[in-house]
Structure 1
Amino acid sequence: TVLPQVETETTVHAHATAELLLDRYGVVTRGSVGSEGTPGGFGLQYKVLARLEEMGRCRRGYFIEHLGAAQFAVPATVDRLRSFGADAQQERRPGEDPTVVRSSIALAATDPANPYGAALAWP
């Protein structure tokens, strides 16, 4: 089989890279872009992601604590993260501190969605 030609147009390439990062990581941060070693680094990707936000393709916010203020995610990822918060509120025991959120999600160390080592320091 023949592979497609490498995209030489930098704008198209940067846009495709931003879409790929959103698909791969769910929540894109400075750390996740840095771990990929993308051309132009986070500065270029920030501009592209901000443009995608203006187009309604992704959202900018503070979705995950300790990952920095510049976080981007597609709306489906944001909704999914919010559902975990709603589930935790429903599972709260009487008298339990409402700021404590219990989580039972585990990711393999080799899973690309695992932020440890890329966006977060190892525990």
Structure 2
Amino acid sequence: MQVRLFVLFIVVAVSLFVGAAHAQAQAPIGRHIDFTAKLLDLNSHPIALSEKDPTQVTLSYVCINALETPVDADREMAGEQKFAMDQLARKIYAQKDVVLSAEEITLLKKRVGMLYGPLVVGAAWRMLDSDAAEKK
């Protein structure tokens, strides 16, 4: 009787372990980001588009603008890279929970850094890569 209980315990324990390992292997690798979040200024107030337009700037707005706005450096860029940037813009457009790879986050940080000033860059980068922001 004790042997059967022990064997049953081992079978259940192994099943749980294998199930957890399988679930972890199936989970997407990356960071979950809320692109509907509003960017905040130094006083923790939402950043507006302009003095005339009080619409609050979201992470989605900034990142899509950064991906879709051509800059001089893009002239030599291959069509495949431009298409990948458009695909990323469509993936994040107004989405509450998007899982991004480290490479996608790096691209977003690079593009936002090319197009915006320190206030927007700082706010966006903190949202895109909170671990890096906390280390500095």
TM-score (norm 2): 0.24
Structure with greater helix percent: 2
TM-score (norm 1): 0.26
